[in-house]
Structure formats: structure tokens, C-alpha cells
Amino acid sequence: MAKYNFSVLIPNTMPNGEAEKAEALFKQFLASGFIYDEISSHPDRPVYASAEMLHLMLPWMIDEMLKRNDTGNFLIYPMITAVDPENEISDRLRSRARKVLELSDTAFAHKVLDFLAAVREDPPNSEEQIERLIALWQRKVQEGSNHSK
């Protein structure tokens, strides 16, 4: 993959063993590509990712999760948090999700919608959250469609 000029970790990450392991995983992704088994066996690692890193990784994560029909994996929780600018977990994660939304184009929004549609039948959190996110990402698609006209 090409060299990227951004931090792979969410800003103000406190140094600790898990953050260091997450950073190594993200750098491995940038250097040699995506390894679903590695990230799915450590579903806490995406919590440490910067918005830019998530913007690169989420499409790969979604594709592989859907291909494997693996929506029961705990990885689903940080993936939903990553695309939810109204999540109730923390200000840092809300801010990061807003940045992911900002970075997103129509293709990325469609990918998120595919993911949300897959978890809609058996949502890991609340149905209301999934429906709210579907509406949000549909608006993103619509905005992109309006800009391309």
C-alpha cells in the first residue's frame, strides 16, 4: 500500500500495551494489506484507530465480514461505533466518527449501508441505533448523488 501521512492511532491515545499492539496491526495493514483473522481475533484494536485509519480499513473489514457471514463477531461493536457520530461511549469516539463521516464518499457510504443492512435483522445494540445510522448514511449517499449532478 502507499505511504500515508497521518497518525494511525486516535489522537491523545494513552500509551499502553494494547495501543502499541493496535498501532503495530494498523502499520502492518498499511505495509502489506488487510488480515481479517488478525483483526477479528482482537476486536478491541479498532477502538484505537484514527478516523483516517478506519476510513481505509472499514471497507476491507466489512467486505470480509459479510463474505464470511461473520456478523456475530465481537468486531461488530467497534465497527458500529466507528460509523456512529452520536455514539454514547465517549466524546473522542463521537469526534472520530464525525471525521470518518466527513472523509467518506458515496462508495464508502454504500459499503457502510451494506454492513448495517446485514446487522439490521439481529442488531447487536438497539434497533433504533441501526435505523438511525441507516438514515444517516443514506443521507450521505444522497448528498454525494446531489454533488455529482
Structure-block grid coordinates of residue 110: 454504500
pTM: predicted TM-score of the whole model, two decimal places: 0.85
* Residue 3 counted as domain residue: no
Q: Is residue 96 part of a domain?
A: yes
How many domains does one find in the chain? Answer: 1
**What's the domain range around 88?**
17-147
pLDDT by residue for the chain (149 residues), tens only, comes to 445 677 888 877 777 788 888 888 888 888 887 688 888 888 888 888 899 988 988 999 999 999 999 988 888 888 888 898 988 788 888 898 999 999 999 999 999 999 999 988 887 878 898 999 999 999 999 987 776 65
Residue 85's nearest CA partner among 103, 66, 110, 67 is: 103
Confirm whether 1 is domain-assigned. no
SS (H, E, C) 51-75: HHHHHHHHHHHHHHHHHCCCCCCCC
Find the Cα–Cα–Cα–Cα dihedral 71, 57, 115, 19, rounded to 10°: 50
